[in-house]
Structure 1
Amino acid sequence: MKAAPMQLLADIGGTNARFALHGEGGFACIEVLPCAAYDTLSAAVKAYLALAAQRGFAVGELAHAAIAIANPVDGDWISMTNHHWCFSIAAMRAEHGLATLLVVNDFAALAMALPTLRDGQRERIGGGVESGGRPLGLIGPGTGLGVSGLVPAGERWIALAGEGGHASFAPCTDDEAAILAALRAEHGHVSAERLLSGMGIEAIHRVLAGERLDAAAITGRALAGADPACLRTVETFCGILGSVAGNVALTLGATGGMYIGGGIVPRLGPLFAQSSFRRRFEDKGRLASYVARIPTWVITEPYPALQGVAAMLSAHVAAHH
């Protein structure tokens, strides 16, 4: 019996586009392309498919594809918040000759992968008690700030596709109040994403240290341990993330666990584990004991959203074909 054709999967952030083929043997030909190198998402897809074809994959037989994207997905037209790409789902499906093109929020796809993660794919931070069959929370600082959750519904899970990263930021320390005042003067509304992202690390450092450095330089100097201002910036970032993650956990009742994804935190290594993140996560007044029971995990698996979007595509194809 001939094997089923492979499916095309993509996880599109503001900086990188991750592609893979998925079939009965699992994932193949995983590639990361820089978004800035392509004028359109379709051009990036074509570049990936040409690469896969060169490696001997039968990409001409593709019928089903799914894209997880760092953006709200509401209707046919997608215009990215943190990048200039925009497209019609129907037009892209037709252009690439696909029977199915499923487009979902990237953090909804990442949320769908959470129940499959094992200890080699996640790192525990602090205490808490792991409980199965309970809601899970998800937050991830990267180019922007993704927020989602996963709610159990009988034998399956339902992912929440929200935009919690754009909820208003609330300071908890004098430093954070100063950062809020400075950013409010620049932007008006200050969201959590303004601080919990690559640009957020730069903004925190600009206010606290009075100098402009890019996020990679700030985190690099902090990891080297030789720059007190950069260490203060990273510590402030981790504390804010703890408070916001605690807010998400309270809002969702995420008693099954709170997961941290995105590109920034895994790069912080011991600085994150030693930071005030967990103390700030639990610092919720009368609800401190409630939050203290919730475990927190850093996702260390490099391509978790591809696992989630593969599951969503399989379910969609089974329901519609």
Structure 2
Amino acid sequence: MTTYPRLLADIGGTNARFALQEAPGAAPAHILKLAAADHAGPGEAAQAYLRQVAEATGAPLATPRWAALAVATAVGEDRVAFTNSAWAFSRRGLQQQLGLDGLLVLNDFEALALSLPVLRGEQLRCEAGPPPAPQGTLAVVGPGTGLGVGAVVATRAGWVALPGEGGHVTLAAADDLEAALLKVVRREHPHVSAERLLSGIGLPLLYRGLGEVLGQTVDAGLDTAAIVTRGLDGSDALCGRTIDQFCALLGGVAGNAALTLGARGGVYIGGGIVPRFAERFFASAFRQRFEAKGRFEAYLQAIPTPLIVDTLAALSGAALAIEQAAGSA
């Protein structure tokens, strides 16, 4: 029995991206982005996606045989609840709802990590030349609605993903200013995780906290998009300082991930935020802070840090996850 077509999904706290893989080796097709808030859950969103594809192509409604959902939360047993979204579902219930022969649910950064070995060309931006051929251990750190961390390891059986929740590690200060910043943020959040500041939900908090530390007036109503826009166009110096501080803090977290995972093949920067200001990112203190690990500075200097500019890369990782589980039939 064929396992095609296969339904692929990359579901974050804000948007759900869907695609179909229609044959072995085929690239994800019919890619659409749906707002999570417009649907009761992933089952309803998937059904709406399939109807939209049928309407757009004039073809009969596709009936996926297998599906892989990359979700922005920790994945355990049957019940899955999103960290930064109201969505929650039962794996068994979702498989029955969609009439699937097989369903995989994996952490979104597990899926993104699985895509790393096949990312090429226009999917990546590097500060100095193309990245080396993927080998050993590769990691990915990505600020989006939240902050994801994942890795993939080359084994004799192929690439094996290492899912985790590294975005929730405790954020550390590297200097007196950051120590003061964390002291301010801890008044509101006793545990300041990396995600608390290095994410779409965290950037406004970083902006307000930095303003208090620097003694500058803040606009409490600014959201992430406005902070980025004002910071890049030069209309607000504090917004610009916030972007720079964001990059510096991200460098420290990425360097920690490299050391913890032994990711000598590269630490990739994913998520939807950093590609919005790629030039500023490459000119920032990110790389300096990535390498600033004392006696292991030389170790980190040899590790590339490519920027993933393809926001659909996790769909390829979801396709590989089904390939590993079900084969290519």
User: TM (normalized to structure 1)?
Assistant: 0.95
Partner in structure 2 of residue 21 of structure 1: 20
**Aligned-partner residue type, residue 147 of structure 1:** V
| Correspondence for 1:141 among 140, 143, 167 | 143
Helix, strand or coil at the partner of 1:61 = coil
Deviations 1:103-162 (A, max 9, x none): 111100000000101132111135898364211111000100000111111151111110
Deviations 1:238-268 (A, max 9, x none): 0000000000001011100110000100111
Aligned residues: 319
User: TM (normalized to structure 2)?
Assistant: 0.92
Alignment partners' CA distance in 2, 1:218 and 1:269: 15
Partner in structure 2 of residue 176 of structure 1: 178
Partner in structure 2 of residue 241 of structure 1: 250
| Correspondence for 1:257 among 262, 266, 274 | 266
Q: Counterparts of 1:131-210 in structure 2 under 5 Å?
A: 132-209=134-211, 210=218
Please report the RMSD computed on the Cα atoms of aligned residues, expressed in angstroms. Answer: 1.9
| Structure 1 contact 144–198 (Cα < 8 Å) conserved | yes
Partner in structure 2 of residue 74 of structure 1: 76
Alignment partners' CA distance in 1, 2:235 and 2:62: 53
Helix, strand or coil at the partner of 1:240 = helix
Partner in structure 1 of residue 310 of structure 2: 301
| Structure 2 contact 27–316 (Cα < 8 Å) conserved | no
Alignment partners' CA distance in 1, 2:250 and 2:32: 29
Alignment partners' CA distance in 2, 1:286 and 1:128: 27
Helix, strand or coil at the partner of 1:51 = helix
| Correspondence for 1:62 among 61, 64, 67 | 64
| Structure 1 contact 109–309 (Cα < 8 Å) conserved | yes
| Structure 1 contact 128–296 (Cα < 8 Å) conserved | no
**Aligned-partner residue type, residue 186 of structure 1:** E
**Aligned-partner residue type, residue 14 of structure 2:** T
Aligned-residue offset at 1:68: 0.5
Alignment partners' CA distance in 2, 1:132 and 1:39: 39
Partner in structure 2 of residue 275 of structure 1: 284
Alignment partners' CA distance in 2, 1:117 and 1:131: 10
User: Which has the larger displacement, 69-78 or 180-189?
Assistant: 180-189
Partner in structure 2 of residue 315 of structure 1: 324
Helix, strand or coil at the partner of 2:253 = helix
Partner in structure 2 of residue 6 of structure 1: 5
Partner in structure 2 of residue 49 of structure 1: 50
Helix, strand or coil at the partner of 2:306 = strand
Partner in structure 1 of residue 85 of structure 2: 83
Partner in structure 1 of residue 40 of structure 2: 39
| Structure 1 contact 125–278 (Cα < 8 Å) conserved | no
